[in-house]
Structure 1
Amino acid sequence: MSRLNRSTHPAPVFPERILQFGTGVLLRGLPDYLVQKANSEGKFNGSIVVVKSTDSQTDEFSGQDNLYTVAVRGVQQGQDVSETTVVSAISRVLAAQTQWKEILLIARNPNLQIIISNTTEVGLNYVEESIFQNPPQSFPAKLTAFLYERFRSVGGSKAKGLVVVPTELVTDNGLKLREAVEKLARFNELGKLFTKWLKFHVRFCNSLVDRIVTRPTDEARQALEQEQGYEDELLTFTEPYHLWAIEGDDRVKQTLSFASASPSEIIIDEDINFYRERKLRVLNGSHTLTMPLGYLLGLETVADEMRHPTMSRFIESLMLEEIVPTVPHYSVAGMDQAAVAQFARDVLDRFRNPHLDHLLLNISLQETAKMQARNVATIQRYYSQFDTTPKYIALGFAAYLLFMKAVREEDGKFYGEITVPGGGILTYPIRDERAGYFYGDWKTVKPKDAASIRAFVQSVCADADLWQADLTALPGFVDAVAEDLKSMLKDGVEKTLDKAMA
């Protein structure tokens, strides 16, 4: 069977109008997919040049002429959906580690209009460094270097300004990225004219993306490749539901002309807070609070969680009883509390999608940063509204602390262990920049000593550097988390969950 390529699947070549930082499945399954849709309808006629920062290997893209397949599988409005699209919107993929000078040359492209990124939550953090390295290390530094090259090549032209749309799951991601770029401009002394051009002609848009996108199981891959008649190393599975909300004005709407092909899925508005909060708290917040518990139970995927009788009840109770009531809403149809509750019920159906292999370990990446961004405000709002401890959130938080318990360190990497059904031991990576912090703190805990467990929880909850808040100020929260953690250490995760849902 031949590999997917442009010989077997001819596709038009369009000017490079978008620069994209990131090669992950989310970008392939949502922004790139939507650009492909617009190109197919003749409403954009532009391609995407992609920057890969994680390593220098781009063979998986070049080996199939930058084509890949998006398989949409699931249920939408009671109807089974099964659609397959070959995406040809990517023109080339360049590795920042080895092709940085070539990437900077793209800044001189007069057709370039848009920059998109997805570099995980911590990827937007400011790092004080020179932008003149080859390449700079952080994403904001890479972006600053690129924008400075753009400024130099166009002479500060208004007409050659850019629209930057980060898709990282961070509140006000556009504003945060702009702040980091402005700091780097000052640190690198790039001058007042560049700062002025940056301020008036580069638009940073807050945005949110909502689509569950995964890599296929081996079985699903084989079945689809047999059906389509070609091999695809970049095969991407996704659900039917998708939304991309972008904060912007008429200039942004005009620049992001591909949005006209998907008016229901791409929302460009001057205020997207409702959509952002609804998705961040209900879908993402639920993932972050339930992933540790599900994984510690020995489950592998989100669908596995929903098939587990007790775990599925926990997820539903957490979402509908403790998260939904705290989501900010407006007194207008489609943006009221009923819309939030309906969104939550839709999310539960999306979690049950049997076609998506949404691995819990993939959700665990940078779990601490996600917990702060997605759930701290929810906890605070719950206390403000109900003046009591959210018991399901407390249990999820306790499971998170247990998930962060590393049993060993190897070459700066940390690993935890769980006992799986049948008595075996499974080692898992803790891919979190705070893993070392917890590795040290867990050494103070004696599993059978309630006082040491509570002291550990008290210390973690009081750390404002972690949470941008003092969680010990919330009455009863530390006690509830400590009690759940003590129970999991003594009786096991499953018995603790059963007791909580009894």
Structure 2
Amino acid sequence: MSTPKQQLNRDFLEKNLLGKELAPFTAEILDYPEKIIQFGEGNFLRGFVDWMVHQLNKQSLFQGRVVVAQPIPSGRVAELNQQDGLYTLILRGTQDGQVVDQREIITSISRGLDPYTQWQEVLKCAENPAIEYVVSNTTEAGIAYNPADRSSDQPPVSFPGKLTAYLYHRYQHFQGDATKGMVILPCELIDRNGDNLKRVVLQLAAEWNLPLQFQEWLTKANHFLNTLVDRIVTGYPAKEMAQLQEELGYTDQNMDTGEIFHLWVIEGDAALGERLPFTKAGLNVKWVKDMTPYRTRKVRILNGAHTSTVAVAYLAGIDLVRDAVHDQKVGQFLKQAVFEEIIPTLDLEKSELQQFAAAVLERFDNPFIDHKWSDISLNSTSKFEARVMPSLKKYFEKQRVLPKRMTFSLAALFALYYGTEIRDNKLVGHRNGKEYFVQDDLPKLEFFRDVWQKYEKAELSLEQAVAGILTRFWPQEAQELPTLASEVAFYLQDILNSGIVSSLEKCS
């Protein structure tokens, strides 16, 4: 298999691909003006927001491009610039029961900037009245106050510091014009990301002794929007690269891959949705007054399905998420937990919840993503607290009985954390006679080890062991749900005696 010699760039695209399957558009799309500055050049934004902007441009609904600034010293703007911002995006998965493999050259990025060598170029973007939008994805730790930030830094250390300096430069250049504020769309995976970003920016503006008029302009002229993003972007397909480049006929060092499903929930005024007409382009973008129900839906259904099933599937000998969907017993457990126990606890329209859940199951079944249950199991105690326990409690409040599958999943979690030895800061468990390693905070693992050591020495009964674990991690629930300990102990005893697969019949 030979490697194509031609690299994807503007010259190659114009000569070879415009108007063809991978690039069904005209050259005009490559010359649209810059309208968005994006902090973050990684796989996710290129497979999510930049893909969306490309879809808008294909329909002449936005006619704007994205200038990208890498948020940390090490990044890939140099590689993007070598290809004139172009890259191939491959979206694969199952949609409406059919396997889909979409390939497209994305043209929305105009250029990349390195703030650590081109800070003045970044600030010059603030002087462009056409650049009205800020997009970011600087990891969950990116939206945080950093005391090392100073207004005179070239550039400031953190993303909020860079944004503060950027907005102050814009404020100065346009002399405080209230019409020159920006729409700021952070995509970091933290709750109320826009509110948190605004809080840090205002804190820095005050610490830097910037004018009070600027601080007022920040609040009144700019829109810091809370958003929720949802798409698995799997990034550069290293293992398939040679074959893909042979099929495509060119080399592409910026190639990106992801799943078909996408959802962007933006908490903002409907008028902003007219300016960024994602929905008009047929994209799954929702402009809402309150994103809380949508965040709850994602956490409880998608993340909750993962967390309530992880111990069950893994102890059943299933390593990949998609294989659990097809397993007769585990797949049934997963579906019943979602449709019969989680969905009834949520407040959105039932049909919308069922549609979202069906899409989640299709995503779990993606034949192109090897999603390992062992990876999902990381820090399962805190994940169960955030993702499953609220549904369990809500179900009990409504039905006055405990939900069978979620209660069983808690017993399975305790079985997953059954181990009497810690090695290399990991709890050693056993599955089908072979060791596996549980990763969580060390004090939590030490607690489980001590409980199970006492249980094996007959110093604790199983119900006492379960009650002790519940009191340690969920004291309020242990008190408010009086039968929780006994029901979890019932399922756990059967799991330990008969194995997880046989025990599933008890909660069907």
TM range (shorter): 0.7 to 0.9
* Equivalent residue number for residue 26 of structure 1: 44
Q: Find the partner of 1:242 among 256, 259, 262.
A: 262
2:142 and 2:159 in contact (8 A); partners too = yes
2: CA distance, partners of 1:459 / 1:183: 37
1:435 has 2:453 as partner:
no
* Equivalent residue number for residue 351 of structure 1: 364
Q: Find the partner of 2:218 among 185, 198, 214.
A: 198
* Equivalent residue number for residue 156 of structure 1: 176
1:310 and 1:501 in contact (8 A); partners too = no
- The alpha carbon displacement at 1:441 in A equals 4.4
Residue 9 of structure 1 aligns to a residue whose secondary structure is helix
1: CA distance, partners of 2:412 / 2:373: 14
Q: Which moved more, 1:51-60 or 1:376-385?
A: 51-60
Alignment of structure 1 residues 234-383 onto 2, 5 Å: 234-257=254-277, 259=278, 262-291=281-310, 293-294=312-313, 299-329=318-348, 336-360=349-373, 374-383=387-396
- The alpha carbon displacement at 1:324 in A equals 0.5
Instruction: For residues 408-442 of structure 1, give each alpha carbon's deviation from its aligned partner in whole angstroms, at most 9, with x where no partner exists.
Output: 55xxxx6566657683x5668x5xxx735535645
Residue 278 of structure 1 aligns to a residue whose secondary structure is helix
Residue 228 of structure 2 aligns to a residue whose secondary structure is strand
1:209 and 1:245 in contact (8 A); partners too = yes
2:237 and 2:256 in contact (8 A); partners too = no
* Equivalent residue number for residue 481 of structure 2: 475
Identity, in percent, stands at 33
Contiguous gaps of at least 5 residues in structure 2: 15-26, 456-461
* Equivalent residue number for residue 45 of structure 1: 63
Matched length: 479
1:9 has 2:22 as partner:
no
Residue 257 of structure 2 aligns to a residue whose secondary structure is strand
**Could you tell me which amino acid in structure 1 is paired with residue 286 of structure 2?**
I
Residue 304 of structure 2 aligns to a residue whose secondary structure is helix
Instruction: For residues 437-460 of structure 1, give each alpha carbon's deviation from its aligned partner in whole angstroms, at most 9, with x where no partner exists.
Output: 535645644345245664344222
Alignment of structure 1 residues 206-217 onto 2, 5 Å: 206-215=226-235
2: CA distance, partners of 1:115 / 1:13: 20
2:52 and 2:283 in contact (8 A); partners too = no
Greater Rg by CA? 2
2: CA distance, partners of 1:246 / 1:124: 18
Contiguous gaps of at least 5 residues in structure 1: 330-335, 463-469
Residue 452 of structure 2 aligns to a residue whose secondary structure is coil
- The alpha carbon displacement at 1:340 in A equals 1.5
Q: Return the TM-score normalized by structure 2.
A: 0.77
Q: Which moved more, 1:478-487 or 1:158-167?
A: 478-487
1:61 and 1:67 in contact (8 A); partners too = yes
**Could you tell me which amino acid in structure 2 is paired with residue 382 of structure 1?**
Y
Instruction: For residues 454-502 of structure 1, give each alpha carbon's deviation from its aligned partner in whole angstroms, at most 9, with x where no partner exists.
Output: 434422224xxxxxxx444441486269648966995698458646556
Q: Which moved more, 1:173-182 or 1:477-486?
A: 477-486
Residue 155 of structure 1 aligns to a residue whose secondary structure is coil
Q: Find the partner of 1:446 among 448, 452, 459.
A: 452
- The alpha carbon displacement at 1:316 in A equals 0.9
2: CA distance, partners of 1:268 / 1:79: 29
1:108 and 1:153 in contact (8 A); partners too = yes
1: CA distance, partners of 2:379 / 2:441: 9
Q: Return the TM-score normalized by structure 1.
A: 0.78
1:108 and 1:154 in contact (8 A); partners too = yes
Alignment of structure 1 residues 108-147 onto 2, 5 Å: 108-121=127-140, 123-124=142-143, 130-132=149-151, 139-147=159-167
Q: Which moved more, 1:397-406 or 1:272-281?
A: 397-406
**Could you tell me which amino acid in structure 1 is paired with residue 86 of structure 2?**
L
Q: Find the partner of 1:76 among 84, 95, 104.
A: 95
